[in-house]
Amino acid sequence: MKSTIPEPTLRRLSYYLRYLERFKEKGLNIISSKELSIALGLSDAQVRRDLFTLGGFGKRGVGYDVSKLFNFLNTFLGLDNLQSIILVGCGNLGKALLQYKGFKKRKFIITHAFDNDKRLIGKKIAGINIQDSKEMQREIRKHKIIYGIIATPASSAQGVVNSMIDYGIKAVLNFAPIKIHVSQGIVISSVDLTTELEWLSFHVHHGT
Amino acid sequence: MKSTIPEPTLRRLSYYLRYLERFKEKGLNIISSKELSIALGLSDAQVRRDLFTLGGFGKRGVGYDVSKLFNFLNTFLGLDNLQSIILVGCGNLGKALLQYKGFKKRKFIITHAFDNDKRLIGKKIAGINIQDSKEMQREIRKHKIIYGIIATPASSAQGVVNSMIDYGIKAVLNFAPIKIHVSQGIVISSVDLTTELEWLSFHVHHGT
DNA sequence: CCTTGTGAAAACTTTCACAGCT
DNA sequence: AGCTGTGAAAGTTTTCACAAGG
């Protein structure tokens, strides 16, 4: 594992993993680059290149071993153990994320939720108690949590992220519609719903 | 408007728009590629290239006219008029999307919501009545809606998208964790939360 | 002197095409 | 015969670097 993996390849890895899991459930042991490419909507050449870059797991004339590849990707992505997440901002989106079942299925679990709205503190959503943001530092340190989700308004997002990072968070998933600046060594990924709609709008108005 | 805009540039346009709006609110009339680049976390060369590709809106020695550029991008992205959206799947995520205020602020509005769960049909979320999915065809045609959001489980997503498109939807925002296949002329964008977490996981485990 | 416009270089990603195993 | 591995070509995006204009 040394030659650097291209970012686009990395982004596809989760999808490979998901489809490999499905193929496994269906009882398939071997899969070809062609079959994978059809499922994922890629070219077969790209699938081969991606898997080749990861180390080359196939057998010529045969294909890829589904379980072997699945296990490799799972470990490679760091998904062998359950990973805890804190969530800050328990408005509509935050609440939905707390209730979202998809995370647990993939070995991520939101264990703590914070807000600074007195009306929300103390409420329980999906079994998780909403705590005062002031408790954040204690909880992050105590449980050595490194993942944080930001579902606050844009105006407070950067400040909350700065605090999180001070307390030990290493990776942030941001839902606030703003560019968050973080220092070296911290990873951040942003999901911006209106940006997606605007991109669709462009294509609709300019004919794909 | 003919030379094809690179996809990555297109993706950045929403962010330019958002920051231009903020600069406008602050009363700034002129902005340099440098200032924009800092706000968006890009290089100044990239900002200049992006804006140059769009047509070149700057004045040498001066910068870019904030209002002019904002208006251009707004129109270019097709955001001059309010655009209606239907939402299918009113589970946790769907409900949160119905309540999400961010859409309206950016000229998108969810006007109809559908589900096929009897327990949800007839309920009202954020002023929108959840209708039986059977009504989808009628509503899409009647109101000539072209945007659809999918917040159903993965297993039914492709089927729902197929129906939507049959009825007239041209652009789909997909939240189901599955690759949706659509025909030429239909635009689709997917938001996949666990994929984002897995990408973070990789970086955490491999040191940025 | 400041900042954009822009051709050209550099960097990166995808695709081609076929050699090489099974 | 079938399918991966892989160097090389093609295609795409970013960055450089400086000319041009206010």
Tokens (6 digits) for B131:
């209708």
Q: Which residue is nearest to nucleotide C3 (CA to C1')?
A: B61
Q: Which residues pair with A65 in a beta bridge?
A: A30
pLDDT in tens, A12-69: 999 999 999 999 999 999 999 999 999 999 999 999 999 999 999 999 999 999 999 9
In a domain, B93, yes or no: yes
Q: Is the CB of B127 under 7 A from strand C?
A: no
- The pTM for the full model equals 0.94
Q: Is the CB of B8 under 7 A from strand C?
A: no
Q: Which residue is nearest to nucleotide C19 (CA to C1')?
A: A60
Q: Is the CB of B27 under 7 A from strand C?
A: no
In a domain, B206, yes or no: no
Show residues of chain A in contact with B147, CB under 8 Å.
197, 200, 204
Q: Do A94 and A176 belong together in one domain?
A: yes
Check B179 against A78: CB less than 8 A apart.
Answer: no
Which positions of strand C lie within 7 Å of protein CB atoms?
A: 1-7, 12-17, 19-22
**Mean pLDDT to the nearest integer, A157-164:** 98
- Position B3 scores a pLDDT of 66
In a domain, A207, yes or no: no
- Position A180 scores a pLDDT of 97
CATH number for the domain that contains residue A51? 1.10.10.10
DSSP letter at A135? Answer: G
pLDDT in tens, A82-117: 999 999 999 989 999 999 888 988 999 999 999 999
Q: Do B140 and B37 belong together in one domain?
A: no
Closest CA–CA distance from residue A1 to any residue of chain B (Å): 10
Check B77 against A198: CB less than 8 A apart.
Answer: yes
In what helix (H) or strand (E) does residue A159 lie, and over which residues does it extend? helix A154-167
φ/ψ of B101, rounded to 5, equals -80, -20
Whether the Cβ atoms of residue B150 and residue B134 lie closer than 8 Å to each other = no
Listed residue (A17, A149, A150) closest to A79, CA to CA: A17
- Position B207 scores a pLDDT of 84
Whether the Cβ atoms of residue A13 and residue B202 lie closer than 8 Å to each other = yes
Q: Do B36 and B87 belong together in one domain?
A: no
Q: Which residue is nearest to nucleotide D22 (CA to C1')?
A: B61
CATH number for the domain that contains residue B170? 3.40.50.720
3-state secondary structure chain B: CCCCCCHHHHHHHHHHHHHHHHHHHCCCCEECHHHHHHHHCCCHHHHHHHHHHHCCCEECCCEEEHHHHHHHHHHHCCCCCCEEEEEECCCHHHHHHHHCCHHHHCCEEEEEEEECCCCCCCCEECCEEEEEHHHHHHHHHHHCCCEEEECCCHHHHHHHHHHHHHHCCCEEEECCCCCCCCCCCCEEEECCHHHHHHHHHHHHHCCC
Nearest nucleotide, C1' to the C-alpha of B42? D14
Q: Do B55 and B105 belong together in one domain?
A: no
Q: Do A116 and A43 belong together in one domain?
A: no
Listed residue (A134, A128, A135, A124) closest to A110, CA to CA: A128
Q: Do A168 and A141 belong together in one domain?
A: yes
Task: Quote the number of domains for chain B.
Answer: 2
Q: Do A88 and A179 belong together in one domain?
A: yes
When CB atoms are compared, the residue of B177, B196, B198 closest to A77 is: B198
Whether the Cβ atoms of residue A117 and residue A130 lie closer than 8 Å to each other = no
Nearest nucleotide, C1' to the C-alpha of B61? C3
Q: Do A91 and A183 belong together in one domain?
A: yes
Which of B76, B111, B135 terminates a domain? The answer is B76
Which of B76, B101, B133 terminates a domain? The answer is B76
In a domain, A201, yes or no: no
In a domain, B203, yes or no: no
- Unique residue bearing structure tokens 């669709």: A200
- Position A2 scores a pLDDT of 42
For chain B, report the end-to-end CA distance as a whole number of angstroms.
39
Cα separation of B139 and A173, whole Å? Answer: 35
Closest CA–CA distance from residue A132 to any residue of chain B (Å): 22
Closest CA–CA distance from residue A22 to any residue of chain B (Å): 11
In a domain, B55, yes or no: yes
Which of B21, B46, B76 terminates a domain? The answer is B76
Site from A90, A128, A197, A203 to mutate, B interface, most B CB atoms within 10 angstroms: A197
Cα separation of B137 and B158, whole Å? Answer: 16
Q: Do A16 and A64 belong together in one domain?
A: yes
- Position A3 scores a pLDDT of 66
Domain that holds residue A145: 83-196
Q: Do B49 and B95 belong together in one domain?
A: no
Cα separation of A148 and A34, whole Å? Answer: 37
pLDDT in tens, A173-184: 999 999 999 999
Distance of B46 CA from C10 C1′ (whole Å):
14
In a domain, A206, yes or no: no
Show residues of chain B in contact with A187, CB under 8 Å.
200, 203-204, 208
Check B194 against A147: CB less than 8 A apart.
Answer: no
pLDDT in tens, chain B (208 residues): 346 899 999 999 999 999 999 999 999 999 999 999 999 999 999 999 999 999 989 999 999 999 999 999 999 999 999 999 999 999 989 999 999 888 988 999 999 999 999 999 999 999 999 999 999 999 999 999 999 999 999 999 999 999 999 999 999 999 999 999 999 999 999 999 999 999 999 999 998 6
Closest CA–CA distance from residue B14 to any residue of chain A (Å): 6
Check B179 against A207: CB less than 8 A apart.
Answer: no
Q: Do A87 and A49 belong together in one domain?
A: no
Distance of A27 CA from C22 C1′ (whole Å):
23
Tokens (6 digits) for B198:
């897995």
In a domain, B118, yes or no: yes
Whether the Cβ atoms of residue B131 and residue A132 lie closer than 8 Å to each other = no
- Position A104 scores a pLDDT of 87
Q: Do A67 and A114 belong together in one domain?
A: no
Angle between helix A66-76 and A7-25 (nearest 10):
130
Whether the Cβ atoms of residue B202 and residue A81 lie closer than 8 Å to each other = no
The three-state secondary structure class of A169 is coil
Output the CA torsion sign for A18, A19, A22, A27.
negative
